[in-house]
Structure 1
Amino acid sequence: MSMNPKPSSPLATRASSHKALLHLLLGLAIAASLAPASQAFGQAFGQPPLPGARQTGPQIYNGACASCHGSTLEAQTAPSLFSTRLLGLTDQALQERIRNAHPTRTGPDIRSLYSEGQIFQIATYLRLQKANLSGRPPFAADPDGQVIKTTKQDFRISVVARGLDTPWAMSFLPDGGLLVTERSGRLRTISREGVLSPEPVKGMPKPWVRQDAGFMDVAVHPDNAKNGWIYLSYAEVLAGAEIPPPPPPGSPTNRAPSPPSMTVLVRGRIRDNTWVDSQVIYRAPAAIYSASNVHYGSRFMFDGRGHVFFSLGERGDMRNAQNLSSPLGKIHRINEDGSIPRDNPFTKTPGALASIWSYGHRNPQGMALDPVSGLMWEAEHGPTGGDEINIIRKGHNYGWGVTSMGIQPGIEKTSEPGMDPPVAYFTPTLAPSGINFDLNRASPWRNNLLVAALLGQELLRLEVRDGKIIGREVLFNQFGRVRTVVNGPDGRLFVLIQNPTGAGTGLSLSAPTPGMLIRLDPVRAVKGQ
């Protein structure tokens, strides 16, 4: 027996849906004016969707609601739902109002029209559109010398090095210098005095550079002073594949034909500003290479026990994330030489890849060890909304391909037995990249998790306790895309930023832009903190 009503015609279905949602959202707007505002941040309600549910939240709103409520902050024939206190409710409260609303005394319950997943997506869409319509703070092109006031300490921004091209990752050397990857395929060195070497490191592997592809993470081995090893991830073209000519100037690069490519991991040493002793640590089978130019991952993390964790995105195909015979959409654990640890969770699972540590990921680009608990924290990009912060556990499934806290056609579930929900999720979209814990013992942010956000263009501070996030603060959001953040040798925080892309810039989201390295210099701790 179907749980969905079956009107006599498709026209009747649309009319019923329109009328129900119109009355529902009018009621929500009125009710919201009486409701207390609170932070829209927390765990989401989740139930399996009803059979046959297909429309996403944006489709429902634009098909059934926009003609009266409009698509802007201005009221139309009915109040705008993007400018009311409705969106000050918590996610749970907002969904509860949608879920329990009765459009008319005799009309159908909203549950009979839309699944729980669709109700969640309606709420998500309202938040996304409110953010899109509200705009961003003006871009400040030169942050040098600006003093930022926060709840626990004030800090001054110092520009350490300019002239970087789409910087992606950084890692400190034993002498206090710094290595920085540029997505265009260059590895740069910055001295401890802040001098950017005019000549990139020579002899580097040749990457495939388009959209998300290029040089990605770089990580100096913890014992680099003795062994000299430096780890690098980048996108490479499948051996023997024909590389098409670049698209004409001004044309969208994401529509140009692309050869099969894939993330590869290598390690090597630098002597006389030249990459030497290069060894492949991980390379996928040829069948895994894809013509997609998105979701390569990739981030390294050493665990201090002889292992390297690394992340791979699902390359734009969410089916890969649940497939244990595919390396895509996974976090992997290998030994430092690329061999497989015998105690990995799937070494004895038929058909599964032995390197997999966890699965069900979309595009993870942040990993960090909690200095207090030893837990591994991870950040990954959601679809539209629903970016995630997770705690990664051995052998666990994190749901992508089946569940999501964002809007993804084909997914309505926000939870499923046997799949770990995120510790936190973010709507509107942040596009989280590098994450790290503040390890400075003298800092009032000590052991807080810092999250770099690309689309959100912010550096976010999360207070963590017992595996939960108990507080959050945006440290800044006006200096462009924030790629990653790390502690320097003296404990101060170093951040890679680049000029904005996307809406309002005339550039695609993945367009290359100039970047710089900045440092956060504490000015004073706030009293009482």
Structure 2
Amino acid sequence: MKQLYALGCSLTCLCLWGLSSCASESSPPPLTQASNPRSETVLLSPREVPVVANVELVTVVEGLEHPWGLAWLPNGDALITERSGRLRLVKQGQLVPQPVAGLPEIFAQGQGGLLDVAVHPEFAQNRLIYLTYASGQREGNQTQVLRAVLDGDKLENLQVIFQAKPAKPGTQHFGSRLLWLTDGTLLVAIGDGGNPPLSLDGELIRNQAQKLNSDLGKIHRINADGSIPPDNPFQNNPQAQPSLWSIGHRNIQGLAKDPLSGSIWSTEHGSRGGDELNLIQPGKNYGWPLVTWSEEYTGGEISPLRTKPGLIDPKLVWTPAIAPSGLVIYRGTEVPAWAGGIFAGGLVSQDVRKIEVDQQGQVIRQGRIPIGARVRDVRQGPDQFLYVLTDESRTGRLIRLQPRQP
């Protein structure tokens, strides 16, 4: 039986401007280690994670309504989505009062609404942006990817280039992060559809994550026009959706690429505990719900298995849950000590986790930057600092993280 390494509180000496101890998070009790099969790749986060000291939080924009996604334009301006169905423009550091016009009808209920935003790598030439959003109604809805031309303060030439199928009921687990790869293709993360007792075709909807003929609970790879790359890993399987890139995911809300190494990381929500940090490889199965460290919200096991041959283990498990959302690998020049660090936002923990990994992709230590509000997205800005979106009703903020001056 392989050894399970616990990421203990003794790892308190991060080279990150200094650290101090912090109070434990309030969440459900962790799964007991004694009852779990062990895996050499999984690290269990401790309840107490040391605080990254000497970080200043600078509010850049405020007054946002449940902001969800953030993307930078080549000129340094930014686009921010609001889950209620508004796309906002930050121009020269100021929030433009009127939302960008031209959005389609959006299903903004529960966890649904206007979600992620991404800018085409050649935006300066084609003005294309990409948006994910929930479409439909409570009885039947799906995550869609919209491509549009940003013309000043309005959208034109709207095209839906991807629609997650089958349509699902309810208002949970839409995903849905976007990530450009170096070859110009686009990754799209789609949630599994929801929690029990929500069902589809006579079984729990979360089982869709293991069905190759379903888009739910997967990462997909598409071309910029929505067509399917011919080298996708499941392309030759007649039972599989040709857009599939990886499978067995619950609800990814953080997806990022290391600009230096090219490695792709994700964070996804567990149920009751069991949030995951994963190193994504094409064609692999990440196990949900066959193996999981999380429990049912009502109590009890979802699966007795924590690991299984042929399925990919997470690199880090958070129990208690932090509800991870927003992810970036820092490769900026303003804070050299952070180079290569993985920064993950937490909705429940109301912080940003700074995760350090070794050359083999194994997590070796972790710190936290308290934000004091639900963190929905984390991005690196063109000025080489990190930026955070806080998920608040009418007081959502865009915050810059920078070294505190002595």
Mark yes or no: TM-score above 0.5: yes
Q: 2:96 aligns with which of 188, 192, 197?
A: 197
Instruction: Tell me the CA shift for residue 470 of structure 1.
Output: 1.2
* Code of the aligned partner of 2:70: M
* Code of the aligned partner of 1:39: C
> Could you tell me which residue of structure 2 aligns to residue 7 of structure 1?
none
Q: 1:264 aligned to 2:127?
A: no
Q: 1:306 aligns with which of 177, 180, 184?
A: 184
- For 2:7 and 2:113, how far apart are their aligned partners in 1? 43
Instruction: Tell me the CA shift for residue 263 of structure 1.
Output: 0.2
* Code of the aligned partner of 2:324: P
- For 1:266 and 1:372, how far apart are their aligned partners in 2? 29
Q: 1:39 aligns with which of 4, 9, 13?
A: 9
Instruction: Tell me the CA shift for residue 468 of structure 1.
Output: 1.3
- For 1:40 and 1:330, how far apart are their aligned partners in 2? 36
* Structure 2 counterpart SS, 1:460: strand
- For 1:347 and 1:206, how far apart are their aligned partners in 2? 32
* Structure 2 counterpart SS, 1:320: helix
Deviations along 1:191-223, one digit per CA (max 9) or x if unpaired, are 12x211110011111110111000000011121
- For 1:513 and 1:469, how far apart are their aligned partners in 2? 36
Q: 1:171 aligned to 2:71?
A: yes
- For 2:105 and 2:218, how far apart are their aligned partners in 1? 25
Map 1:212-291 to 2 at 5 A.
212-237=111-136, 258-285=138-165, 288-291=166-169
Instruction: Tell me the CA shift for residue 320 of structure 1.
Output: 0.3
* C-alpha distance 417-513 of structure 1, shift in aligned 2 (>3 A): farther
Instruction: Tell me the CA shift for residue 513 of structure 1.
Output: 5.1
Instruction: Tell me the CA shift for residue 331 of structure 1.
Output: 0.3
> Could you tell me which residue of structure 2 aligns to residue 473 of structure 1?
367
Q: Is the 8 A contact 1:371 1:447 kept in 2?
A: no
Task: Give me the TM-score of the superposition, normalised by structure 2.
Answer: 0.84
Q: 1:187 aligns with which of 87, 103, 120?
A: 87
RMSD: 2.7
- For 1:232 and 1:463, how far apart are their aligned partners in 2? 30
- For 2:334 and 2:94, how far apart are their aligned partners in 1? 27
After the TM superposition, which parts of structure 1 deviate over 3 Å for at least 4 consecutive aligned residues? 36-41
- For 2:389 and 2:367, how far apart are their aligned partners in 1? 19
- For 2:112 and 2:225, how far apart are their aligned partners in 1? 24
Q: 2:52 aligns with which of 150, 160, 164?
A: 150
Q: Is the 8 A contact 1:182 1:216 kept in 2?
A: yes
Bigger Rg, structure 1 or 2: 1
Deviations along 1:102-134, one digit per CA (max 9) or x if unpaired, are xxxxxxxxxxxxxx47x99xxxxxx99x97xx9
Q: 2:346 aligns with which of 453, 467, 479?
A: 453
* Identity in percent: 38
> Could you tell me which residue of structure 2 aligns to residue 434 of structure 1?
326
Instruction: Tell me the CA shift for residue 188 of structure 1.
Output: 0.3
> Could you tell me which residue of structure 2 aligns to residue 366 of structure 1?
254
Using CA pairs below 8 Å that are at least 6 residues apart, which structure has the higher relative contact order? 2
Deviations along 1:292-337, one digit per CA (max 9) or x if unpaired, are 2100000000012120001000102221010000000000011111
Q: 2:171 aligns with which of 283, 293, 311?
A: 293
Deviations along 1:162-194, one digit per CA (max 9) or x if unpaired, are 1100000110111111100000000000112x2
> Could you tell me which residue of structure 1 aligns to residue 16 of structure 2?
none
Q: Is the 8 A contact 1:267 1:281 kept in 2?
A: yes
- For 1:321 and 1:40, how far apart are their aligned partners in 2? 37
Task: Give me the TM-score of the superposition, normalised by structure 1.
Answer: 0.65
> Could you tell me which residue of structure 2 aligns to residue 389 of structure 1?
277
* Structure 2 counterpart SS, 1:463: strand
* Code of the aligned partner of 1:314: D
Unaligned runs of 5+ in 2: 1-5, 12-28, 195-204
- For 1:498 and 1:461, how far apart are their aligned partners in 2? 19
Answer 1 or 2: which has greater helix percent.
Answer: 1
Instruction: Tell me the CA shift for residue 521 of structure 1.
Output: 2.5
Unaligned runs of 5+ in 1: 1-35, 42-81, 100-115, 121-126, 135-148, 238-242, 244-257, 500-511
- For 2:394 and 2:309, how far apart are their aligned partners in 1? 43
Instruction: Tell me the CA shift for residue 520 of structure 1.
Output: 1.4
Q: Is the 8 A contact 1:170 1:218 kept in 2?
A: yes
Q: 2:382 aligns with which of 489, 503, 506?
A: 489
* Structure 2 counterpart SS, 1:189: strand
Instruction: Tell me the CA shift for residue 227 of structure 1.
Output: 1.2
Q: Is the 8 A contact 2:295 2:302 kept in 1?
A: no
Q: Is the 8 A contact 2:164 2:216 kept in 1?
A: no
Q: Is the 8 A contact 1:498 1:513 kept in 2?
A: no
Greater mean alpha carbon deviation, residues 516-525 or residues 225-234? 516-525
Q: Is the 8 A contact 1:321 1:329 kept in 2?
A: yes
- For 1:481 and 1:369, how far apart are their aligned partners in 2? 23
* Code of the aligned partner of 2:125: K
Aligned residues: 363
